[in-house]
Amino acid sequence: MSVRVPAKVNLQLSVGPVRADGYHDLVNVFHAVSLFDEVTATPADGLRLTVEAAPHSRVAVGGVPTDDGNLAARAARLVAARLGVEPAVALRIRKAIPVAGGMAGGSADAAAALVACARLWDDRDRPALTRDDLMELGAELGSDVPFALLGGTAIGVGRGERLTPALARGTFHWVFATADGGLSTPAVYAECDRLREAQGRAAAWPRVSEDLMTALATGDAKNLGAALDNDLQAAALSLRPSLRRTLAAGREFGAAGAIVSGSGPTCAFLVANEEHAADLAAELDGAGVAEQVVVAAGPVPGATVV
């Protein structure tokens, strides 16, 4: 049972005040792009997990846990517990989504493992898990997991896990510039809080950007590029100042929008069309401002059996 699952980029990531439970209230506009991990589940005598780079991808998988630290393993255990079966499965993860890159690769693998295991352990003697069941299990694993199941373009509120699909027209073309070494998401949030405190700036209550919604609904890449907004960008740049050069290079080479993806360090560039994406990718490659440059398009569907 193989499931393909996309990476995400945040078109808007607005970080509100810290809540009593330590999480921030967020407004997140997620957009799934055509950069895919693949998770294959086969019956085994216990839970096993392997991780490798996808063919033709240069993702560094060295730091990815192969024990229960891997979100996909936790997803398999959760499905098994819910169905009352043994988690007897071998999971093979092939990664094309950068690790700790701000593109929710771990959450994507968890979503794929939920779908793959639910299918693998489907048995006509008990009711099958529904899409809603999987969304609920996904939310238990992490706030980005439900979106990896859903895909497309969606607005997430709360911790990001309460999702509403957004109206989006056409296809948007992207170039992603990965960086050497990841950034820890909790560290980026902590830096965001620290910068706000140092500047004496209280966090505003987050709201969905109307300009962004209009640009999406009309399929206007130029306006969408201008409306991209990420409250974590300043924190990611503070922790990784070299990203300034990467963003500047993309703007200089004519990107309609240039933004740090999620908690970084991957930088995302929105361009007008596929041809421009190839040109920009070549320019960024030549400028030596990225570890790896990949082109992708969005929106694409969420975790899908292949």
- Nearest approach, Cβ of residue 99 and ligand ATP (Å): 5
- Nearest approach, Cβ of residue 101 and ligand ATP (Å): 5
Residue nearest to ligand ATP (CB): 106
> Is 100 part of any known ligand binding site?
yes
Q: Which is nearer to ligand ATP, 53 or 272 (CB)?
A: 53
Query: Residue 55: which residues within 8 A CB-CB, separation 6 or more?
Result: 94
Amino acid in position 72: A
Q: Which is nearer to ligand ATP, 71 or 221 (CB)?
A: 71
> Is 108 part of any known ligand binding site?
yes
Q: Contact, 131 vs 123, CB < 8 A?
A: no
Q: Contact, 266 vs 103, CB < 8 A?
A: yes
Among residues 37, 95, 109, 144, the one annotated as catalytic is 144
- Nearest approach, Cβ of residue 11 and ligand ATP (Å): 14
8 in active site? yes
> Is 103 part of any known ligand binding site?
yes
> Is 200 part of any known ligand binding site?
no
- Nearest approach, Cβ of residue 56 and ligand ATP (Å): 18
Cα dihedral sign, 255-261-264-266? negative
Take residue 161 and report the two structure tokens written for it. 């896990």
Nearest to 270 by CA among 168, 166, 144: 168
> d(Cα 181, Cα 178) in Å, to the nearest integer?
9
Residues of this chain that bind ligand ATP (CB under 6 A)? 63-65, 69-72, 93, 99-107, 109, 144, 182, 185, 262-263
> Is 98 part of any known ligand binding site?
yes
Q: Which is nearer to ligand ATP, 182 or 299 (CB)?
A: 182
Q: Which is nearer to ligand ATP, 175 or 183 (CB)?
A: 183
95 in active site? no
Among residues 8, 95, 109, 231, the one annotated as catalytic is 8
> Is 213 part of any known ligand binding site?
no
- Nearest approach, Cβ of residue 80 and ligand ATP (Å): 17
Q: What is the DSSP letter of 70?
A: S
SS3 at position 133: helix
Q: Which is nearer to ligand ATP, 283 or 293 (CB)?
A: 293
Nearest to 35 by CA among 18, 57, 14, 52: 57
> d(Cα 212, Cα 215) in Å, to the nearest integer?
5
Cα dihedral sign, 192-195-197-199? negative
Catalytic residues: 8, 144
List the binding residues for ATP: 98-108
List the binding residues: 98-108
